Structure 1
């Protein structure tokens, strides 16, 4: 086997080659028609997203962070609103909470699933109640594309009369008990950042809900809080629209999404089969279909993780650390309430993500697996 092989951590070039010609034709037409903002393709994309996810309402927007903030802005404002969220996630999940005049309450994740721990949510919810706070939302995250425990989290949200908002930035195409993860929570959001399972060629995002009143409010917020027209401002809003060019990209990629999710399953299965040290592999469950945005190993300690990363780098195998520090331990968030997040801290020191793409070839998977096996011998 070769000593080195050119492998991308997240390979977009192979996918781009499939859609490039048709996409360039559509972009050329858009330029000719000067149909740049909120064009007909945006409406077409929203209809496709509704059908694919079985959601009643879809609102596209500027990016995944805006999607989360718009969801929170739809909640009635109060000076004592709390939102529970995991400490082990990308910063977007948490930063939108204070930006929406709410207080984040950080809780830990489950070590084997990487996702928010429902038992911690229950404790945090009771603590907020004791403090005299108003729990308005629970934000869950499908980290690395694996669905969270939707039934348990939605049950807790119902008990406390608050919203369950699901951050599905990494899990477009994933399923929980045969249901699209974007159709389960009160409000779900996703990101179309280029490296996501469904990504555009810039920034983009979308919000999903089955509640018509909430959908109307969020659609208004996304366009400066408009009412009957853009000069009729009925609430505080923001400027967050998906442009026509990005809608073209996403419509072309929607043609591939089903096959690409299946290909991601095959890549993950090959890793799981070929990596000999089974203790470092991500767990799987029959009732969950992961989008496998990342394929993430968990090793014993930070020293081993850093040595493995360096070792794979010698063979030009790229790896990623998602994420190197829990949010509750970072400077802007240290003053906010939290439970002990020991799993989040441990994972930040022990996770390592391997190259993952629907188009990762058998030789590449075998090469990566062989080097991992050599490291642990």
Structure 2
């Protein structure tokens, strides 16, 4: 069994993907081909924003936005403590200070009450200037943007939505990657919409910001790439990856998002009352980058993972170490007591195989094994 079965997806769409790649090879427009512009147009339409700017990967997408927003030393940027390292890394890379915030135990996303308290504390201390909130749509579920937008307006902050895992999710029909002043996503192969290498994209409704981002991603270009009006980077999505993503976006829209939510329902029906299952608030849709359960403690979690592995069931732990405990951020000296929920989650979460090509028998097998194994921990 595959944790995220890219082989099954390729088998289903082999003809379309092979044809799309072959067309790029025959035209030999490997950088900046028509496929890139076509993909950006399709992505912007799907998300419901004016601009989609593709780039080399999800981390660079956030880095470029930070450059475009002018984030610098002395600025405070608010990031959930329970997330992948890059969300905090890009803040430090810009010279700013990441302020890590504990998360909601049920949704895994940033705790908005603790977020507001942290902003107030920053203002009170007067050492840093609050500038940006970076909510993460963790495991496919959009963050609580109702509260986040209210808080951002109250304190005059920008929102950079990290939708690396959230593409396809929504709140009352409004799509992930459309909530912030800008949003980013990743096309890493295992993401809800993934290519066959690295890739990323930036979304915004701000015309001036989009123009600046388009300049920054190609060496700070002006009227052309040989007219350099600012310091930028080299961050492009190549034509082959764009061609592959066009095929996969069609599949994602036509059935994959619905199929993965059907798998979610199968897991949930079977595991409810056995383990703590993911909570999807009313009006929300998750794209289920992961299906993550919670166990009683680290020992039970590790025992279950080991036993499932013996049975050929791959499971992953996202995340073993919170952001505030990463050595790279050790000089920030966070108080561990502020991160009670994140610390608990790092000891209890386990992500099960999850993708649109799982079938009912696969899910039943995983669930039966979980029930059987957990009985051993109570004996």
Partner residue of 1:123? 117
Q: SS of 1:255's equivalent?
A: helix
Q: Which of 336, 339, 348 is the equivalent residue of 1:341?
A: 339
Q: Which residue is equivalent to 2:268?
A: 272
Residues 253-293 of structure 1, C-alpha deviations (whole Å, 9 max, x = no match): 01111210000110000001112534421112221100011
Map of 1:40 onto structure 2? 34
The one-character-per-residue Cα deviations of 1:329-377 (angstroms, maximum 9, x if unpaired) are 0111122265611111111110000000101011110000101111233
The residue that corresponds to 1:244 in the other structure is 239
Residue equivalent to 2:280: 284
SS across alignment from 2:143: coil
Task: Provide the residue aligned with 1:22 in structure 2.
Answer: 16
Aligned to 1:88: 82
Aligned to 1:170: 165
2:227 alignment counterpart: 232
Q: Residue 203 of structure 2: SS of its match in structure 1?
A: strand
Further displaced range: 123-132 or 349-358:
123-132
Q: Is the 8 A contact 1:277 1:373 kept in 2?
A: no
Shift of 1:79: 2.7
Would the alpha carbon gap of residues 77 and 187 (structure 1) be closer, same or farther in structure 2, given more than 3 Å must change? closer
Once the two structures are superposed, residues 30-87 of structure 1 have per-residue CA deviations (whole angstroms, 9 ceiling, x without a partner) of: 2222100011100000000011111111100000000111111112254311101011
- The answer on whether the counterparts of 2:112 and 2:144 sit within 8 Å (CA) in structure 1 is yes
User: How big is each residue's C-alpha offset from its partner over 1:289-324, in whole Å with a ceiling of 9 and x where there is no partner?
Assistant: 000110001011000100111121121111000010
Superimposed CA distance per residue, residues 132-190 of structure 1 (whole angstroms, 9 cap, x where no aligned partner): 22111000001110111011111111112121111111111100121001111111100
State TM-score, norm by structure 2: 0.95
Where does residue 97 of structure 1 map in the other structure? 91
Decide which of 195, 206, 221 is 1:211's aligned counterpart.
Answer: 206
Q: C-alpha separation between the residues in 1 aligned to 2:166 and 2:299?
A: 30
Q: Does 1:293 align with 2:284?
A: no
Q: Which runs of 4+ in 1 moved over 6 A?
A: none
| Cross-structure match for 1:3 | none
Establish whether residue 51 from structure 1 lines up as the match of residue 45 from structure 2.
yes
| Matched residues, number | 371
TM-score in terms of structure 1 length: 0.96
Q: Structure 1 regions of 5+ residues with no counterpart?
A: 1-6
Alignment of 1:134-213 (within 5 A): 134-213=129-208
Deviation, structure 1 residue 131: 2.7
Correspondence for 1:355 among 353, 364, 369: 353
Higher mean alpha-carbon deviation, 334-343 vs 249-258, is at 334-343
Give the Å deviation of 1:18: 2.0
Choose between structure 1 and 2 for higher RCO, CA contacts under 8 A separated by at least 6 residues.
Answer: 1
Root mean square deviation of aligned Cα? 1.2
Query: Could you tell me which residue of structure 2 aligns to residue 73 of structure 1?
Result: 67
Q: Helix, strand or coil for the counterpart of 1:104?
A: strand
The whole-number CA distance in structure 2 between the counterparts of 1:355 and 1:28 is 32
Aligned residue for 1:371? Answer: 369
For 1:178 and 1:60, the matched residues in 2 are separated by: 24
Deviates more, 1:34-43 or 1:308-317: 308-317
- How far apart are the structure 2 equivalents of 1:149 and 1:201? 31
Asked if the contact 1:277–1:376 (Cα under 8 Å) also holds between the matched residues in 2, the reply is no
Structure 2 unmatched ranges of 5 or more:
none
Instruction: Provide the rounded CA distance (Å) in 2 between the counterparts of 1:54 and 1:276.
Output: 35
Within-5 A mapping of 1:299-318 = 299-318=295-314
